[in-house]
Chain A
Amino acid sequence: MRALVVETLAPNYAGCGLHEIATPEPGPGEVRVRVRAASVNFPDLLMTRGEYQHRPPLPFTPGMEMAGEVDALGEGVTQFKLGDAVVGGAKTGGFAEFVISAAAGLRPKPERLSFAQAAAFGAAYITAYVALVRRARVEPGEWVLVHGAAGGVGLAAVDLAKALGCRVIAASASDAKLAVVQAEYAPDAVVNVAGGFREQVKAITGGRGADVIYDPVGGDVFDESTRCIAFDGRLLVVGFTSGRIPTISVNMPLIKGFSVLGVRAGEYGRQFPAKGRENAQAIWDMAAQGLLHPRVHAELPLTQWRQAFDLLADRQVIGKAIVRPDL
């Protein structure tokens, strides 16, 4: 089968290439999936140069989220049959024609979602869910300010917060991206952060500031967020796409009465397996009901994996970029 293989860890994907490798066989409790769509996530890019916390042994095939069809069943697998449309995640393996997954790591693909949308859904929306529901415990009507709103993780938070009945301010540094977010997700307000956003957020929220701030950006965005957060507000630390990990004097949360909450969606599920399953069930149920709308920016053939990686790295993607091994 054809697969993207990382043979050495190197910058600029120098250690990556498309290769013909043996099609893997499923072991007991495992399923072989014919991959129809795999989404590109930042950890995939980081893993090619060994900059992610999880460093799989070399050589390996990246790709942590995919959707496809059941192609072969390992011993003891009864919950799926050949040809079933499934979606799942693993740490690696998705950027290939076939991937082996534990049967327990797969679920039926909701009919409402295309293979591409299903592959684009899980990681981003589980992050948004853990952040907004488990950590911030948002209430309907609260103002939620989402930074990086056009990115995969940010857009999921916009979509989920709207579905939960919150009032959403979508923030990004690009007017073109905000126009798409506004057109397709109907946030209550959009804010271009390029010239500073603190006054705009205060004006929108009637001077109170945002009740919840979802921040995958960090750096200056985090700093300014502490100046437009409401009393009893929750500032969610989701990531640092700006490249700078900010610092805060703890007298500030004290005086202004807000909390700073770290979000680790994957670890949350590992620490609390039952709640982790509830989280996943909640978002997939909402997707099946048409309440959530994962956005596929574009689908590209696996042969164009580098272009797909660059789309993400260059921040051109609104939602998720998808690679398709069948193209």
Chain B
Amino acid sequence: MAGFDLQRVMAKTVLSLPTPFLRALSGGGVVYQGGRTLDPRFQFMAHAARGAPPLTSLAPDVARAGSAASLAAVAGRPEPGVRSETFTIDGPGGALRVRAYRPPAQDPAAPLMIFAHFGGGVIGDLETCDVFCGILAKGAHCAVLSVDYRLAPEHRFPAGLEDVLATYRWARENTERFGAPKGHVAVGGDSMGGNFAAIVAQEMKRQGEPQPALQLLIYPAVDVASETQSMTTYADAYPLSRQTMAWFMGHYLGPDDDPTDPRASPIRSADLSDLAPAVIVTAGFDPLVDQGEAYAKRLRDAGVPVAYRCYDSLAHAFTAFTGAIPAADIACREIAGLVREGFEGRIR
């Protein structure tokens, strides 16, 4: 996430200004790329971020703190009526923090959704997706379990993935604690979390374990060595640029790791048949839009039920911007609705 330097007060005040002012403050004009029109609020934030040191120039711990502070300025309010509880479980690397969300009207037949936040495997924590998990729990009428997986470069590939897998398996044994039917789980995540979620579904198949009820992949990184057109068209997009993606992967993958390993780039798996029904959502202004779309196509060609949707005016990481960008808030609620449709078997 490039240069999250926005001051909390500045962001909330300035972002409430009308569009022409925002566009003028952002250097004027309307941002068109690949023929899409960028949401003016993203445009403003992208412009503001240009004055800040790029994320890629920072040490990972500084980048984490800066990103957390900036995201707090654009986060929506916690979803009313959703209760959450943070606790630890035993993970492969020691105690692993997780946060469970229970909606006001939980469907007792709905699976428990394990969710992994964005951040390139390098930044982000339970707060990154806190508001979104509440929206998801409420809209899909399911319990959600968010996982604070280990981050690189302190813990490189596949540490984060293994934490998500461990949480998934732990959750599957403990669904009833969260009001879900025994053994009934789903998996989801955005960006790097979407990478993990896609791989969890594939790992279940490889290991001969049951498929999740659903995989929710939001602007997922399914190919960490992608050369699709959107990697160029939206190379300078905000908040995820091609350079930031490369910086993330430089920390996430070790020198001997293969970026085409399906456990790093799940789209590289040869056979995608018999995987769980998928809800795949992309954002228009995102270097990763093409790979998310390609994964949706490949899953469908393999006979997997897929609901795909691209929100044209939005950018990568929009689930964290619901307090500043009204269209992001609406999109997040629609995603929860799509997940609900998936639980009801209405995705074909």
Q: Does B52 contact A (CB under 8 A)?
A: no
Instruction: Give the interface size class of chain A.
Output: 20 to 34
Q: Are B300 and A180 in contact (CB under 8 A)?
A: no
Q: Does B310 contact A (CB under 8 A)?
A: yes
Q: Does B329 contact A (CB under 8 A)?
A: yes
Q: Are A114 and B36 in contact (CB under 8 A)?
A: yes
Complex Cα distance A218/B70, Å? 45
Chain B's closest residue to A296 (CB) is: B312
- Per-residue contact bits, chain A 292-313, to B (CB 8 Å; 1 contact, 0 not): 0101111111011001000000
Q: Does B330 contact A (CB under 8 A)?
A: yes
Chain B's closest residue to A294 (CB) is: B37
Q: Are B40 and A327 in contact (CB under 8 A)?
A: no
A:89-131 near B, CB below 8 Å: 111-117
Complex Cα distance A301/B311, Å? 13
Give the distance to chain B from A118, nearest Cβ to Cβ, in Å: 8
A:266-305 near B, CB below 8 Å: 290, 293, 295-301, 303-304
Q: Which of A47-55, A134-142, A183-191, A257-265 lies at the binding interface?
A: A183-191
Q: Are B41 and A183 in contact (CB under 8 A)?
A: yes
Q: Are A111 and B18 in contact (CB under 8 A)?
A: no
- A186-B19, A307-B307 as given contacts; A327 in contact with B293, CB under 8 Å: yes
Q: Which of B27-35, B175-183, B268-276 lies at the binding interface?
A: B27-35
Which residues of A sit under 8 angstroms from B307, Cβ to Cβ? 304, 307
Q: Are A295 and B313 in contact (CB under 8 A)?
A: yes
Complex Cα distance A183/B29, Å? 16
B:256-284 near A, CB below 8 Å: 284
- A114-B312, A184-B19, A184-B313 as given contacts; A318 in contact with B297, CB under 8 Å: no
Give the distance to chain B from A117, nearest Cβ to Cβ, in Å: 7
Q: Are B34 and A186 in contact (CB under 8 A)?
A: no
Q: Are B312 and A180 in contact (CB under 8 A)?
A: no
Q: Are B327 and A180 in contact (CB under 8 A)?
A: yes
Which secondary structure dominates where chain B touches chain A?
mixed
Instruction: Give the interface size class of chain B.
Output: 20 to 34
Complex Cα distance A274/B346, Å? 48
Q: Does B336 contact A (CB under 8 A)?
A: no
- A184-B327, A185-B19, A327-B297 as given contacts; A299 in contact with B35, CB under 8 Å: no
Q: Does A192 contact B (CB under 8 A)?
A: no
B:320-342 near A, CB below 8 Å: 325-327, 329-331, 334
Complex Cα distance A301/B295, Å? 13
- A180-B330, A183-B19 as given contacts; A112 in contact with B35, CB under 8 Å: yes
Give the distance to chain B from A177, nearest Cβ to Cβ, in Å: 8
- A117-B37, A179-B326, A184-B40 as given contacts; A296 in contact with B19, CB under 8 Å: no
Q: Are B326 and A180 in contact (CB under 8 A)?
A: yes
Of the candidates A114, A176, A293, A298, the one whose C-beta lies within 8 Å of that of B311 is A298
Complex Cα distance A299/B308, Å? 8
Q: Are A299 and B36 in contact (CB under 8 A)?
A: no
Give the distance to chain B from A162, nearest Cβ to Cβ, in Å: 9
Give the distance to chain B from A195, nearest Cβ to Cβ, in Å: 21
Which residues of B sit under 8 angstroms from A327, Cβ to Cβ? 293, 296-297, 308
Q: Does A316 contact B (CB under 8 A)?
A: yes
Of the candidates B30, B35, B329, B334, the one whose C-beta lies within 8 Å of that of A293 is B30
Q: Are B326 and A176 in contact (CB under 8 A)?
A: yes
Complex Cα distance A115/B35, Å? 8
Chain A's closest residue to B297 (CB) is: A327
Which residues of A sit under 8 angstroms from B309, Cβ to Cβ? 298-300, 304
Chain B's closest residue to A120 (CB) is: B312
Which residues of B sit under 8 angstroms from A295, Cβ to Cβ? 313
Q: Does B20 contact A (CB under 8 A)?
A: yes
Which residues of A sit under 8 angstroms from B30, Cβ to Cβ? 290, 293
Known: A117-B36, A296-B313. 14 other contacts (CB 8 A): A112-B35, A116-B312, A117-B35, A177-B330, A179-B329, A180-B326, A180-B327, A182-B326, A183-B41, A184-B19, A298-B312, A298-B331, A298-B334, A300-B308
* A positions within 8 Å CB-CB of B: 111-117, 176-177, 179-180, 182-186, 290, 293, 295-301, 303-304, 307, 316, 318, 327
